[in-house]
Copies of this chain bind each other. A is one copy, B any other.
Amino acid sequence: MDIRQMAMAAKSAAVKLAAVKTAEKNDALQAVADALRAHAAAIIAANREDMAAAETSGLAAPLLKRLKFDETKLAEVIAGVESLLGLPDPVGTTLRATELDEGLELYQVACPIGVIGVIFESRPDALVQISSLCLKSGNAALLKGGSEALHTNRVLAAVIRGASEAAGIASGWLQLLETRSDVNEMLALDDCIDLIIPRGSNAFVKYIMDHSNIPVLGHADGICHVYVDAAADLAMASRVVCDSKCQYVSVCNALETLLVHQSVAPAFLPRVVSDLQARGVRVLGCERSRAIVPSLKEATAADWDTEYLDYVLSVRVVDDFDMAVDHINEHGSGHTDVIVTADAGVASRFMSLVDSGNVFWNCSSRFSDGFRYGLGAEVGISTNKIHARGPVGLEGLVIYKWLLKGSGQIVADYADGRRHFTHLPLKKDFSI
């Protein structure tokens, strides 16, 4: 099958999957979990093959670690699949119900998006996670994993497909792409694929966004800020800054630029720099920062637009609140930005004026995450301004349709004034 045929098959399956009841989807998820358990040996053997090839080709140690799929990883992903059983089905919820006229009832009802293309890097667990999220939300999926994980992914996809189809899910709902040229073909299929979720490096996500007309859910950058206000508790500020920067440096919600109000900079900067340096962070400062802490290396204009993803932090002293907000809205990536202040009025203005998906007051930027938010499962993090923003749970994989139940009504009767709309809100869910 070529990629178009695969996408057409997925589209055809998606239509059937949209009509599958919650209980049947949960049964299929349980069957997938059981099958993963039953095929543990084959999955792990395939992963050993991938690991051996990756070691031979000299894949870097952190990537090897992500590629590895052993009993522990398998148990984790099986637990992840089973945890979806308990989550509410996002499909079928009545979002709005209106009587347009007697016997003419309008319902806005959540439904799957359709066909989701997901591209992820070397972690095979992502394949299980994404395909089970798609199944729970009634979407068909075209998946492309890292080429290093090809054998593992083939076995995983075959197991998931076999178990779910045996449980009654329409054949074709899960398709595995294998090459980079497959991905390029997929990017052109905007008549079959409704949404692409790329998970990976900035450059990679940007490439996908630039080369497809299909909507993309994701984030290219994560340049996050903490602004320490004139009214900040400085001990709290340093704790929040250190956690935001150091708790896990290589992730999108880690701090990259610290902004400090000029009135507290002399008291705060020496303290926070010392705390950061004790944790191995290299601190780069603007001219005013370096006047206070002369040992700082110089931050240049390019630093304000740099996502280090490392033990590096840029620091800028700002004149006032407005300059901090302007800096964030100009240089940030709309991901996660934090204010530390004891002044509730200032915090409120910050939360209104900072145009980011996640805006925090007096806590670490590292909280912006689907599991920490209690979403139950995370599809990804979005810096989009439409559809879904910030950490995205299952509800990011659904849209809605408008269902209108009539009894022979025609528009001419309303246009000619023979009948009139009532537009009464209905307190009931859609049913036939």
* Known interface pairs A18-B353, A387-B387, A402-B390; A372-B408 also in contact (CB < 8 Å): no
Is B114 a contact partner of A367 (Cβ separation < 8 A)? no
Total interface residues in chain A, CB < 8 Å: 79
Bound together, the chains give a CA A363 to CA B406 distance in angstroms of 5
Contacts of A239 in B (CB 8 A): 408, 410
Q: Does A120 contact B (CB under 8 A)?
A: no
Note all chain B residues with C-beta closer than 8 A to A423: 374
On chain B, the residues within 8 Å of A351 by CB distance are 401, 403, 432
Q: Does A409 count as interface, using CB distance less than 8 angstroms? A: yes
Within 8 A of B (CB), among A165-180: none
Cα separation A367 to B329 with both chains bound (whole Å):
42
A411 near B100: Cβ-Cβ < 8 Å = no
Q: Give A185-224 interface residues, CB cut-off 8 Å to B.
A: 194-195, 209-210, 213, 215, 217
Q: Is the CB of A406 within 8 A of B213?
A: no
Q: Known contacts A355-B18, A404-B361; is A399 also within 8 Å of B374 by CB?
A: no
Query: Which residues of A line the B interface, CB within 8 A?
Result: 14-16, 18-19, 98, 100, 104, 106, 113-114, 194-195, 209-210, 213, 215, 217, 233, 236, 239-240, 242-243, 247-248, 325, 329, 344-345, 347-349, 351-353, 355-364, 366-368, 372-374, 384-391, 399-412, 414-415, 421, 423, 432
Closest 4 CB pairs of A and B: A363-B406, A243-B410, A374-B423, A19-B352
Sample 26 A-B pairs with CB under 8 A, ordered by A number. A14-B355, A15-B325, A19-B353, A98-B374, A100-B372, A106-B373, A194-B385, A233-B408, A243-B412, A247-B411, A248-B411, A347-B405, A348-B432, A351-B403, A360-B404, A360-B406, A362-B409, A363-B406, A363-B407, A363-B408, A367-B404, A367-B409, A372-B414, A373-B402, A386-B386, A390-B401
